[in-house]
Structure 1
Amino acid sequence: MPVVVALLGACVGSFLNVVAWRLPREESIVLPPSHCHRCGSRLRWFENVPLLGWLLLRGRCGHCGAPISCRYPLVELLSAGLWVAALLAQPSAMGSQPQPWLLVAAGWLLLSWLLPLVLIDLDRLWLPEPLCRIGLLIGLAVTAVIGFQQGAEIGRELLFHHLVAAGVGLVGFETVSALAHKAIGRPALGLGDAKLAALLGAWLGLTGLGITVILAVFAGAVLGSIGRLSGLLGKHQPFPFGPFLAAGGAAVWLLGNDLWLAVLGLVW
């Protein structure tokens, strides 16, 4: 089962690479089929095989020799790993007795949805509003399905809790962004970060969202400081916060609230 899941995850990762490349350029994610961005030559079927295709081509287009970024196989590998990890995930946000297969499917969907958001934010310092909005709605729908599967009372409670979490994520980040802008005279957080926080609230609930934000702020502060001190980042150079939020959300989904609360308790 893990091998099959890893293969499926790698195939999904291959598609997510296409989404991350084409969506910011307002291109169709379906047509035309995969092709070289330099010469336009269509890739043959075996060149599209996740991981193996890049290795067979030795990282270069088979027609014009243009280099193919190593990000493509790395994203496919990451997606495969996340899909396998979702088999053992212990999310705390979906009630006490959800159907295991529903949790696994929900994890695959959430983790796959976050990947293109991370890639686009790394490339463009931009989190597409449609992806965030649709991801939020899907999160609420998944919450409802898993919740009502456990009973009407649990379904209503979970859905309300996650709606509140989404609202808190959106309003909270927008408020912090506005206050920071007034304090330092320049944007500290983008509006896309607020929408991503709302998406994560819809999936993780209020406690999960709170843990996610703590993990994201800590990781962002550490890596940002390293970047400034090493000279990789300029004094006022912006860097994306979305990947930290997404990574924190994925960590909370995969490992659950209790483990992270215990870790944070030990730290403090």
Structure 2
Amino acid sequence: MDIIWIVYFAVMGMVFGSFYNVVGLRVPKHESIAFPGSHCPKCGHPLKWYENIPVFSYLALRGRCKSCKSPISAIYPVFETLTGLLFAYSFSRFGWSMELLLACLFISLLVIITVSDLVYMLIPDIVLLPFAAAIAIIRFLSPAAPWWSAWLGAVLGFCLLYLIALVTKGAMGGGDIKLYFVIGLVLGVEKIFLSFFLACLFGALFGIGLMAAGRFKKRKPIPFGPFIAAGSLIAYFFGNDLIAFYLRMYGLS
């Protein structure tokens, strides 16, 4: 029976992932997420239902608009697939629990802000605030252990990024700072620092990769949101194991 629910969550994740692409692409431009319906951004061709099936339509159309043959951004199938996989893994990990709801909300937030930050270098408050409220309610109804860890993690996450922004004179955007408050609510004290370490590590590796490929531009900013999302998800799902491994490696446990 569990496999049926895992498949269900994978499919629902892809459907929601398709919607999150729309939110991430339209909200920063102050556009409606409902009207107009899904369409080709190049020629305006309205998508029929069979052109709008997550992942499968992209593959069937070979990544091109049926009308004008313009390339369709890979953002759509990539984040639809990722959301589906993460939703399915969350159910397999947490089952029917309050933590499953928290995981799905957390994944949803990170997918939306990643799309938005990749395209516009922006993490909109109008996206952050509803998720912050929902996650805070869940943390109130289903506290972390110990109960204060989530709230202290939120404060530390906010203060850490705010301090870095002050020291670096704006290297961290306001969206990143507020995002880490929400991430702290989810991760708690111990894993908030792991999340930031991983985000910086991934960002550094990406920068090194760009330099090796000769594509690094000194004055061109790189969105940090995707690295925050990757580091935070790894810390959320595997943080306890990573911390335990680190402590064992140095004989601290």
Q: Structure 1 residue 54: deviation in Å?
A: 1.5
2:105–2:135: 8 Å Cα contact kept in structure 1? Answer: no
Write out aligned runs for 1:101-180 (5 A): 101-147=97-143, 158=147, 160-180=148-168
In structure 2, C-alpha distance between the alignment counterparts of 1:101 and 1:22, rounded to whole Å: 32
In structure 2, C-alpha distance between the alignment counterparts of 1:173 and 1:259, rounded to whole Å: 25
> Hey, what does 1:262 align to over in structure 2?
244
> Hey, what does 1:51 align to over in structure 2?
55
2:152 alignment partner AA:
V
Alignment of 1:2 with 2:16, yes or no, is no
Q: Structure 1 residue 222: deviation in Å?
A: 2.2
Aligned residues, how many?
246
1:200–1:209: 8 Å Cα contact kept in structure 2? Answer: yes
Q: Structure 1 residue 133: deviation in Å?
A: 2.6
Percent identity over the alignment is: 30
Structure 2: give runs of 5+ residues left out of the alignment: none
SS for the counterpart of 2:45 is coil
> Hey, what does 1:234 align to over in structure 2?
217
SS for the counterpart of 2:97 is helix
Work out which of the residue numbers 195, 206, 221 in structure 1 matches 2:189. 206
In structure 1, C-alpha distance between the alignment counterparts of 2:89 and 2:152, rounded to whole Å: 28
1:133–1:199: 8 Å Cα contact kept in structure 2? Answer: no
2:161 alignment partner AA:
F
Normalising by structure 1, report the TM-score: 0.84
SS for the counterpart of 2:142 is helix
- The alpha-carbon distance between structure 1 residues 193 and 63, as it changes in their structure 2 partners (threshold 3 A), is same
> Hey, what does 1:26 align to over in structure 2?
30
SS for the counterpart of 2:199 is helix
Normalising by structure 2, report the TM-score: 0.88
Q: Root-mean-square deviation (CA), in Å?
A: 2.1
Q: Structure 1 residue 100: deviation in Å?
A: 4.5
**Runs of 4+, deviation exceeding 6 Å:** none
1:136–1:203: 8 Å Cα contact kept in structure 2? Answer: no
> Hey, what does 1:215 align to over in structure 2?
198
